[in-house]
């Protein structure tokens, strides 16, 4: 790609970070930019599958807790309407209503499954925030039966929020191959470790599946060899 096209459509400030990390070597900068995209691409499978695992684990736990397979619809008038949630603008209930409105506009029948599948990663990790966590009697922590005793709601939430933030950066094409101005994939490696730990704490038998779809290390190796 010609330099003028890259500057025009990908922005000079964005590309300048890659130039700075490669001592203004344009060829290396181009290879690093492309390698960062491939690393982001490699993270998508494990991040998306983690979200599915987390979502379904929480749904099963909530369905059991409320003795209701349609809890996500029925709890709009239950714990999601508790007066203590006024300061957070009833985030969970509002998210569900947005989905219901979208389905209604498209004349799609509202079902438990459609509501669940439309919620964001942020929706699910919000169950580990104190105001929601207390209202469901601390049930979310129990989806991690294999966690170390030192892990609690706050530490689990911190790890989940790190994954959410990293995933957003991946989705917005931000660089994940830098530490300040240096080529460094240590953050990406730390995120991958947190993801594997969380999955293992849910069920260690899921790890072989994750490893079978994970090729992030080869992309990291390519970046570090540029």
Cβ pair 63, 71 in contact under 8 A: yes
Question: Does 6 have pLDDT greater than 90?
Answer: no
**pLDDT classification of 152: cutoffs 50, 70, 90:** very high
Residue 180 has a pLDDT of: 85
Q: Which residues of 181-220 are buried (b: 16+ CB within 10 A; e: fewer)?
A: eebebeebeebbebbbbbbbbbeeeeeeebeeebbbeebb
Residue 135 has a pLDDT of: 98
Question: Does 35 have pLDDT greater than 80?
Answer: yes
Residue % of the chain over a pLDDT of 90 = 90
Domain assignment of residue 207, yes or no: yes
Which residue range is the domain that position 101 belongs to? 43-224
Reported in sequence order, the residue ranges of 10-144 that DSSP labels E, i.e. its strands, are none
Domain assignment of residue 122, yes or no: yes
Cβ pair 213, 45 in contact under 8 A: yes
What is the widest separation between alpha-carbon atoms in the chain?
A: 61
pTM of this structure: 0.93
Domain assignment of residue 94, yes or no: yes
Question: Does 34 have pLDDT greater than 80?
Answer: yes
Domain assignment of residue 218, yes or no: yes
Domain assignment of residue 10, yes or no: no
Domain assignment of residue 132, yes or no: yes
**Residue, of 7 and 170, whose pLDDT is higher:** 170
Domain assignment of residue 49, yes or no: yes
**pLDDT classification of 183: cutoffs 50, 70, 90:** very high
Number of domains in the chain: 1
Domain assignment of residue 23, yes or no: no
How far CA 140 is from CA of 54, 73, 150, 184, in Å, comes to: 10, 18, 16, 34
């Amino acid at each position: 790609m010609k330099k003028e096209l890259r500057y025009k459509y990908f922005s000079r400030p964005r590309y300048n970070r890659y130039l700075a990390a490669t001592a203004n070597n344009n060829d290396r900068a181009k290879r690093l930019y492309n390698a960062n995209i491939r690393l982001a691409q490699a993270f998508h499978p494990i991040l998306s599958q983690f979200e599915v695992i987390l979502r379904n684990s929480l749904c099963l736990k909530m369905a059991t807790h409320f003795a209701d397979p349609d809890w996500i619809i029925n709890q709009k008038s239950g714990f999601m309407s508790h007066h203590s949630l006024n300061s957070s603008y009833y985030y969970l209930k509002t998210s569900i209503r947005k989905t219901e409105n979208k389905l209604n506009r498209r004349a799609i029948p509202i079902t438990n499954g459609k509501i669940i599948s439309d919620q964001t990663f942020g929706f699910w990790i919000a169950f580990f925030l104190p105001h929601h966590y207390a209202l469901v009697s601390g049930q979310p922590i129990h989806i991690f039966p294999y966690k170390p005793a030192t892990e609690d709601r706050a530490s689990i939430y911190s790890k989940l929020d790190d994954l959410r933030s990293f995933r957003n950066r991946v989705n917005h094409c931000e660089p994940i191959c830098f530490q300040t101005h240096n080529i460094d994939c240590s953050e990406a490696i730390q995120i991958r470790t947190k993801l594997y730990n969380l999955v293992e704490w849910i069920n260690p038998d899921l790890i072989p599946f994750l490893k079978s779809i994970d090729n992030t290390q080869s992309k990291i190796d390519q970046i570090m060899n540029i």
